[in-house]
A and B are shown apart, each in its own frame.
Chain A
Amino acid sequence: MTVGVFTITVNGASRSIEADGDTPLLWVLRDNLGLTGTKFGCGIALCGACTVFVDGKPLRACSLPISALGAGKVTTIEGVSGPEADAVQGAWVSRDVPQCGYCQSGQVMSAIALLKEIKKPTDHDIDLALSGNLCRCATYIRIRAAIHDAARALGG
């Protein structure tokens, strides 16, 4: 694929970048735009570290070429906001969820996405929604507890 100029909307701002159309959205975010909160973990949509939102829905940024983004509006961990984001952030701090922290931006994005769809998720809902977010430190117990906390904070 050839290099082209792509104008994309990230965290509410319009940005123009020059890239090969086959470049993963992840590398555009990190290398072209300096938004390094979104992590590279596996590059094959297996670990969830690169989770962002496109038009409000979670998406693995490693598995989408920039040429396929179109008019999709991207939200990264740096720009995510709203009641679910606030609740998750508060619960994460309160529970001291991260250990090494590398996977946590992806975990947080997936937690927010779940709470947008299910106000009071069960353990099973959480396990299914976050099964694609791996944590080498195995903070899964705290992640699950923090999501329950966030749900309660949201009135779920």
Chain B
Amino acid sequence: MRRPLIVAGAAALLVITSAAAQHTLGQNSISAVARSIALFQKAGKVFQSPRCLNCHPVGDRPTQLDRMVPHQPLVVRGIDGHGAPGLACDTCHHAANYDAAGVPGNPGWRLAPASMGWQGKSLGEICEQIKDPARNGGKDMAALLKHVSEDSLVGWAWGPGGKRPPAPGTQAEFGALMRAWAASGAHCPPDKRK
């Protein structure tokens, strides 16, 4: 009699433990999603900085300044993001910021692809965009994390020169946030217009 009792007890414990584990896992899943979204919302302060948004227009024309007014003079994306024939971005924007003329610069100065227009988009929409290789230039998550962490033009947002307020934090912190977001499942905020 003693042996069946032990087996029954072990089985009951397994059921209880399993149920407890499922309950805990469920709570963790919910909090993991919330944490992932929270991480992206934190990173979103960078994505939605004027330093980033100005060159991520939804149309063909970039904006400028913190007020995000239309770029002066009129410039457009062109076929490759480097401007129109005869008026490429590097006609005025050179390899480095030049404060004497008030002109920002970086060797890679260009507009983001039209598929990566963020102006007027909710953070959820931006999140879905940047995860989508069809829209983000064919980047998988590893390539996306490398881009945000190491790309020099992305990094310009933290060294914009002149009186331009930089994007929040540092590129290293931004990269760490994005890696943590990816590791947490890369969940996006609910898709609501801001």
Total A-B residue contacts, Cβ distance less than 8 Å: 78
Q: Could you say which of B71-79, B127-135, B176-184 contacts chain A?
A: B71-79
Q: Which of B88, B90, B100 contacts A22 (CB 8 A)?
A: B100
Sorting the interface of chain A by its residue count into under 10, 10 to 19, 20 to 34 or 35 or more gives 20 to 34
User: A58 — which chain B residues lie within 8 A by C-beta?
Assistant: 86-88, 91
Query: A132, B92: Cβ atoms under 8 Å?
Result: yes
Interface centre among A22, A62, A63, A68 (most CB of B within 10 A): A63
- Assembled-state Cα–Cα distance A117/B92 (Å): 18
Considering only residues 88-135 of chain A, those with a C-beta below 8 Å from chain B are 110, 113-114, 117-118, 121, 125, 128-132, 134
The secondary-structure label for the interface of chain B is loop
The secondary-structure label for the interface of chain A is mixed
How many chain B residues have a CB neighbour from A under 8 Å? 22
Q: A22: nearest residue on chain B (CB-CB)?
A: B100
A38-60 vs B, Cβ < 8 Å mask (1 yes, 0 no): 00000111101001000001111
Given contacts A59-B91, A128-B74, 10 further A-B contacts (CB under 8 A): A46-B72, A60-B92, A63-B103, A110-B87, A114-B85, A128-B85, A130-B86, A132-B74, A132-B91, A132-B92
